[in-house]
Structure 1
Amino acid sequence: MSASTRLLLACLSLLSLIGCSEPQRDSTIRSRGFVYCGQDTPTTFNPQLIDGGLTADTLAAQIFDRLLMLDPVSHQPLPSLARSWTISDDGLEYTFKLRKGIEFQTTEWFKPTRRFNAQDVVFSFQRIINPKHPFHAVSGGRYPWFESQGFSELIAHIEMNDSHTVTFVLTRPDNAFLSNLATSYAVIHSQEYAQRLLKAGQLQQLDMKPIGTGPFYLAQYLPDDLIRLGRHWGYWQGAAPMEQVVFDISARGTGTLAKLLSKECDVLSSPVASQLPVISNSEEFELMAQTGMNVAFVALNNDKAVLQDLRVRQAINLAINRDNLLNSVYYGTGTKAKSILPPMSWAYNHASQALDYDPDQARALLAEAGYADDLILTMWVPIEPRPYNPSPRKTAELIQADLKAVGVRLIILAQESVSRLSSTSASNSDMQLTGWIADNGDPDNFLRPLLSCSAKAAGLNVANWCELSFDNLLELASRTNQLEQRVNYYHLAQDILDQQVPVIPLAHGVHFQVHHQSLGGLQLSPFGTRSFASVYRSE
């Protein structure tokens, strides 16, 4: 069933968020918008509440804006809703001058009476850091990405100096602060909309029927079926060329490649590596590639007694043949990972002494630890392809074979979900096959949310590993303004990871995206986020 047919059925069944006026034919959708395939079903439309997935990777860039954005080349923060900023000499106060005249989206459920101002900035961040805020506990009251960064402890308070000036006062200097405000999680909500929901007692609607200042607004959502975005005519950078974007999130019927070839989809995100030759041989489609700031890795659950033994963690690392993974899963498109940080990071340790493939040494370590042939482990595996891992199931099966060769039986627990926060089987498993797409170019964005003690408390540190010496190095790196010293601290932090092996880096993937040749203006970002504000159709 095509996305356009499902749109018609949605209208007839009265399940849409807003009413539909008339049936839309495929040709109408193609002339006035496009269909995007290859994503999961969101649990919320507020990226503040999650740690990744469709909402954070793609939807947030369409619905919301942030104070800052990231330059895709230099990875440095650029103005967005904030037109400029100043930093105090002690590095504790960041004052932002906000743009004027920016309009919030108008929908069937909300029509704004004022434009964006400092109240919206204060509201958006106070909800996160203030436990007494009326919206703090809404939708579960967890802000995993911010918790992993220790954001609430970092912000002393937020001051609204005037209607278009805001000051963030920090408890300590943090070199990554501006970059963090440019991530897809640091979105700005409408305070006026929130106040109206508060009076109506409909607080959760803020997260499921969002209002932002982005180029598109949420027009329709059918879980496990489709999401439709409509053009925000009042967008401050000019209305988007496309009237609508339809996300096909259905798992029914043919696969995503078949939908692309049959023109049910115009864009396919993260095609499986084995599909690339088919796509490349077609003149109808254009294949885009972006070296990603990402990593696929296996997290070893340090809360499990058997994995608290360093020899066992080292043995598992030594047993995995990464070259085989690159050939069989990535088809030569990935890069072997020696570190959580990708080689393109300015803090990457090229002198890393990380252990590599050595099955004989792996057997010896297991025998020394008392597990010659009787060790059984479980590994949680999300099966959805991601830019850092184009085929998680195949990756898991190859790791399973590698471990069997050294006497370890691995039981694979395959799951549909990619969230590390919502699966009981994930938190109870011995290992997790997972990964990370950086939200900005700062190395802190890899190391802190994945492996710090605060990230363990937040649930993002799925290795359940907490090492104070590692955390201290991250703190020192965040406080110094000397780049050479920062690099040294990050190298020392990576040395600890090489020695302790809380996680096993596997590969850094290339982000692929394919689209019909009639579409122009599509972009890729090393951070996974991309706006559709400039997408157009040439035929």
Structure 2
Amino acid sequence: MRASRMRATRFRAVIAAGAVATLMIGLAGCADSDRDNGGGEGSSSGGTFIFAGAGDPKNFDPIFNDDGESFRPIRQMYDTLVTHKPGTAELVGGLAESWENDATGKVWTFKLRQNVKFHDGTPLDAAAVCANFDRWYTMKGEAAQSQMIYYQDVFGGFEGSPDAVYDNCKAQDASTAVVTMKKYKGAFPGAFALTAFSIVSPEAVKKYDGNTVTQNGDSFAYSAFANEHPTGTGAFTYGGWNKATGEITLTKNPDYWGDKAKVDKMIIKIIKDENTRKQELRAGTVQAIDFPAPADRKALAGEGYKVLDRPAFNILYLGINQKNPKLRDLRVRQAIAYALNRAQLVQTKGPGGAAVADQFLPDTVLGYAPDVQKYEYNVDKAKQLLSEAGATGLTLNFYYPTEVTRPYMPNPQEIFTVLANDLQAAGIKINGVPRPWNGGFKDDVQQFGKQDLHILGWTGDYNDPGNFVGTFFGRAKPEFGDDAMTEMFSAIGKADATVDEAGKKAAFEQVNRDLATKWLPAVPIWHAPPALATAKNVEGLVPSPLTAETFNSVSLTK
């Protein structure tokens, strides 16, 4: 994979008025070829592949997760209806051999693969697919209020909500599932490839009480299905999570419908400290690490380790919570933007190839507007705006995560320190609030909105502007704190619902201009290409621009 940014392949449903646009992508033979990395079952290397994870997963139920550390093991155990060609953002068949949509973009028909079974031996059929869609839609109470961020972003709401996009799913026959939406949404078909929408065994959900979630103070507790019995159709089966050693064990699924895993076992060893991950790679106790520090990439490559760059398909931003009345003043938010020396941050803390971001999506995505207002570093301008707003001496609580490294955020502590120093130089007092990623930071920020400022980001799941700006700003969220920003929500919703591609492009370009000038709910910081590093004997690991690697292609040479 080259180090420079790859222009991700655009994909979206093309719907012409009065005509049926059919997306027969990923037919069985083609999809099998796409997944074949030159080995096949006969070339299996055996052995155990140990990958160093950067943080604890929350649980293993796809629908209740939205972060990479949870999705990494989930992605090995489950499959989605649609997936991506390895190393790209191009859609190909997953559990569905093919799919098509009608002229309205509201009815989606999936032709499923034959003879696929869940890990518990039950069949993958249209009824099971529909049971998954219905499960998500009918979530209630604490389950619906927990971390179902992807569902709410893509499908708008649950049963009974006026914003709900999903209508129904019917099993036309055992191998044909027909999903009907209440309205067109630009997220499809790309969203069908989201790991959160992996297809799980309905029988296992029922047996292990998978729909039960309980809230305990500021956190949520999940079911035996989510924690102990994850059951999908993937290339690996669940072998347990030893929390004392931090090891998640995944075992080769000999009955996998696609290319079977080349190793017998995979272990995800959770090592939260970046330097320790590097030391264990050098010691040979792990064979791969994610997100090596920018300074370590060249050193590791010089020592013979393989450093695999992913294209930069992500964004880091500084979130601003308008629950604080002072932050509702646009001048204060603009002052924050002017106070940040983002170019220097990129030079000193960014990985090679990082670039200052001026909007909330990469320039490879439809709707990128090259003429947005850019906030060049200007501390005097920041002080002037604060004075005009009567916010001189402002004090803000700045939350940042600990014990984790994210693709867009290689060292949260260092990034926080630089940004906090910039803000303080402009006269804003900063109280730093470090919180652990899961069970702390994410709950405080995304569920309860306790912060004034926070750093967070996103790696795109598919190449569509709604997956970036729609995910962040398409509806009211505690992390940005003002559900009165209805003009912003409405503009993003209208852009996402625009069927004509030229019209959609123009609408999202205007959204991005307005995000920079009228609304400014956050400040974009950078786009950064994250990397993987592996031992010399690791073959077949294909970096994904979506950081969505699957490991059935990995083999170990002697």
| TM-score where L is the length of structure 2 | 0.83
Shift of 1:352: 1.3
Map of 1:41 onto structure 2: 56
Shift of 1:253: 12
Moved more, 474-483 or 528-537: 474-483
Shift of 1:72: 5.7
Give yes or no for the alignment of 1:432 onto 2:454.
yes
Name the amino acid aligned to 2:453: M
Q: CA–CA distance in 2 between the matches of 1:368 and 1:138?
A: 45
Give yes or no for the alignment of 1:127 onto 2:135.
yes
Map of 1:148 onto structure 2: 153
Shift of 1:328: 1.2
Map of 1:163 onto structure 2: 174
Q: CA–CA distance in 1 between the matches of 2:526 and 2:170?
A: 43
Moved more, 247-256 or 406-415: 247-256
Shift of 1:411: 1.4
1:34 to 1:190, Cα distance in 2 relative to 1, 3 A: same
Aligned residue for 1:423, secondary structure, equals: helix
Shift of 1:181: 0.8
Moved more, 305-314 or 330-339: 330-339
What per-residue deviation string (whole Å, max 9, x for no partner) do you get for residues 376-426 of structure 1? 111100132211111111111111111121111111111221576423797
1:51 to 1:198, Cα distance in 2 relative to 1, 3 A: closer
Aligned residue for 1:298, secondary structure, equals: strand
Map of 2:18 onto structure 1: none
Give yes or no for the alignment of 1:340 onto 2:351.
no
Map of 2:243 onto structure 1: 223
Name the amino acid aligned to 2:336: I
Map of 2:23 onto structure 1: none
1:137 to 1:395, Cα distance in 2 relative to 1, 3 A: closer
What per-residue deviation string (whole Å, max 9, x for no partner) do you get for residues 38-67 of structure 1? 3211121012102213122x1222000000
Give yes or no for the alignment of 1:405 onto 2:420.
no
Name the amino acid aligned to 2:54: Q
1:74 to 1:43, Cα distance in 2 relative to 1, 3 A: closer
1:508 to 1:70, Cα distance in 2 relative to 1, 3 A: same
Map of 1:315 onto structure 2: 335
Aligned residue for 1:404, secondary structure, equals: helix
Shift of 1:478: 2.7
1:128-207 mapped onto 2 (5 Å cutoff): 128-131=136-139, 142-149=147-154, 150=156, 152=158, 153-197=164-208, 204-207=223-226
Map of 1:91 onto structure 2: 105
1:254 to 1:393, Cα distance in 2 relative to 1, 3 A: closer
Name the amino acid aligned to 2:378: D
Map of 1:7 onto structure 2: none
Of residues 501, 515, 533, the one that matches 2:552 is 533
Shift of 1:37: 0.8
Shift of 1:120: 1.6
Aligned residue for 2:89, secondary structure, equals: coil
Q: CA–CA distance in 1 between the matches of 2:343 and 2:436?
A: 27
Moved more, 68-77 or 315-324: 68-77
Map of 2:499 onto structure 1: 481
Q: CA–CA distance in 2 between the matches of 1:212 and 1:410?
A: 45
Q: CA–CA distance in 2 between the matches of 1:517 and 1:173?
A: 48
Among all aligned residue pairs of Structure 1 and Structure 2, give the percentage whose two residues are the same amino acid. Answer: 23
Q: CA–CA distance in 1 between the matches of 2:144 and 2:280?
A: 34
Shift of 1:140: 6.8
Map of 1:508 onto structure 2: 527
Name the amino acid aligned to 2:257: W
Q: CA–CA distance in 2 between the matches of 1:173 and 1:251?
A: 42
1:489-500 mapped onto 2 (5 Å cutoff): 489-499=507-517, 500=519
Whether the aligned pair in 2 keeps the contact of 1:45 and 1:60 (CA below 8 Å) is yes
Q: CA–CA distance in 1 between the matches of 2:237 and 2:80?
A: 15
What per-residue deviation string (whole Å, max 9, x for no partner) do you get for residues 106-145 of structure 1? xxxxx42x3211122112121110146xxx8659755221
Whether the aligned pair in 2 keeps the contact of 1:452 and 1:467 (CA below 8 Å) is no
Map of 2:293 onto structure 1: 272
Whether the aligned pair in 1 keeps the contact of 2:352 and 2:529 (CA below 8 Å) is no
Map of 2:371 onto structure 1: 351
| Aligned length, in residue pairs | 493
Give yes or no for the alignment of 1:520 onto 2:539.
yes
Give yes or no for the alignment of 1:441 onto 2:449.
no
Q: CA–CA distance in 2 between the matches of 1:497 and 1:186?
A: 29
Shift of 1:437: 1.2
Q: CA–CA distance in 2 between the matches of 1:217 and 1:423?
A: 33
1:55-66 mapped onto 2 (5 Å cutoff): 55-56=70-71, 58-66=72-80
Shift of 1:490: 0.3
Q: CA–CA distance in 2 between the matches of 1:474 and 1:186?
A: 23
Aligned residue for 2:433, secondary structure, equals: strand
Shift of 1:235: 0.5
1:34 to 1:307, Cα distance in 2 relative to 1, 3 A: same
Whether the aligned pair in 2 keeps the contact of 1:432 and 1:462 (CA below 8 Å) is no
Map of 1:379 onto structure 2: 398
Give yes or no for the alignment of 1:422 onto 2:440.
no
Shift of 1:195: 3.6
1:378 to 1:532, Cα distance in 2 relative to 1, 3 A: same
1:75 to 1:238, Cα distance in 2 relative to 1, 3 A: closer
1:465 to 1:333, Cα distance in 2 relative to 1, 3 A: farther
Aligned residue for 1:177, secondary structure, equals: coil
Of residues 373, 391, 395, the one that matches 2:415 is 395
Whether the aligned pair in 2 keeps the contact of 1:451 and 1:465 (CA below 8 Å) is no
Shift of 1:354: 2.9
Shift of 1:163: 1.2
Whether the aligned pair in 1 keeps the contact of 2:480 and 2:521 (CA below 8 Å) is no
Q: CA–CA distance in 1 between the matches of 2:269 and 2:87?
A: 30
Aligned-residue Cα RMSD (Å) equals 2.4
Whether the aligned pair in 2 keeps the contact of 1:463 and 1:503 (CA below 8 Å) is no
What per-residue deviation string (whole Å, max 9, x for no partner) do you get for residues 242-285 of structure 1? 111111114589711111111111000111212223212211x1
Aligned residue for 1:403, secondary structure, equals: helix
Q: CA–CA distance in 1 between the matches of 2:53 and 2:114?
A: 37
Shift of 1:427: 2.1
Map of 1:472 onto structure 2: 490
1:355-374 mapped onto 2 (5 Å cutoff): 355-372=375-392, 374=393
